[in-house]
Amino acid sequence: MSYTDIILLGALVLTILIEFVVLWIAFRRPLRMLGYSALINSLTLPAAYIIDTFLGFYITEVIVFIAEIFLIKLLLQSTYKKAIIVSLIANLITALISFVALMF
Amino acid sequence: MIMVLLLLVMPAVNADVLVPGTKGVDYCFRISNMEDYPDYEFIIFGAPVTGVRRIVPGECVSFYKLSHLKLYALEKQEFERFSELISYKEHNESWRGHADYNYSIARQYFEQEHDGLYDSGLELSSYGAVAENDPLDSVEDILTIKSLAGNKFEIEKTEVVYTYTDGKTEVKPYINNVTPEPSGRFYLPFSWYLIFIPIAAAFIIFWILRKRKK
């Protein structure tokens, strides 16, 4: 397993946990939210990694943000408004934590 | 999105050490028409490490990866004077690229103007590092002398040869001095077996949604 693989898996676990907290606050039912967070991020994070090499960071972020809106809407059977808010908050928090981690 | 961001801002090279997850790409440059200028010697000069080196016709010149170099042409007679001035002494062929000389005198020499010394104005540096899964293996720049007369030394990067890990090569022309990007270099940024993660996730999501519809 290469260093990049370890980074990918580490970031995946961390992102799943962070987005789980956001989903839990928004929708309750912790166990189910942990599963949904794992499913959503296991799909979007590796895909984003590949897309990023072609389209760059910002476009990739927008694509992931939009993709997660639909995934949250479908899986959690929420309204679009709530899905947009949850996706926005989840992605903003993970981005913010990345910036803070890099500062130290 | 943590990982994407981390890799975006992670520097490719930190001092002399490659960042884990990246690899160095071999770089060299070749002057395609040096033989057309037999009355001149061509010299690279730069730091760190590289110092002064005389280019041999046909040679693909590689150098220390962190060096920033300048390329000069010297008339043969001026080269003799320069060699004496800095006590330049090349080692034999097996030591190609290694020579004894006085670095500080050489640096002073290139800071001044001299008859028979021509500054190309071209600065050279290595290609740097890429992701460890990137199939790009080596890069060779082809330089072509456009003119060398009357205190004017014009040389341009005209082509770049990209070599990939499977042995395939690709030649691309420089347009307006802009380095063309290597093409056909799709690669998974992680090991292929990890692709099962998004595929499995997609199947499970699809299965959940289908089950709900029933």
Q: Is the pLDDT at B138 greater than 80, yes or no?
A: yes
Q: Is the pLDDT of residue B162 over 90?
A: yes
Transcribe B108-122 into DSSP letters: HHHHS--TTEEEEEE
**By mean pLDDT, which of A43-47, B33-37, B138-142, B149-153 is the weakest?**
B149-153
Residue B39 carries which side chain, given as an amino acid letter? D
- Give the A:B interface size as CB pairs under 8 Å: 108
Residue for token pair 């341009």: B156
Report the pLDDT averaged over residues B180-195: 80
Query: Is the ipTM, as predicted for this complex, more than 0.95?
Result: no
Rounded to two decimals, the pTM is 0.67
| Nearest in space to A70 (alpha carbons), one of A56, A82, A61, A58 | A82
Give the angle B25-B162-B47 at the CA atoms, nearest 5°.
45
Q: Domain boundaries in chain A?
A: 3-103
Confirm or reject contact between A75 and chain B (CB < 8 A). Answer: yes
Please tell me the distance in Å from A77's CA to the nearest CA on chain B: 10
Contact across the interface for B205 and A3, Cβ inside 8 Å: no
The shortest CB-CB distance from B3 to any of A42, A45, A74 is to A45
Question: Using 50, 70 and 90 to split pLDDT, how confident is the model at B193?
Answer: confident
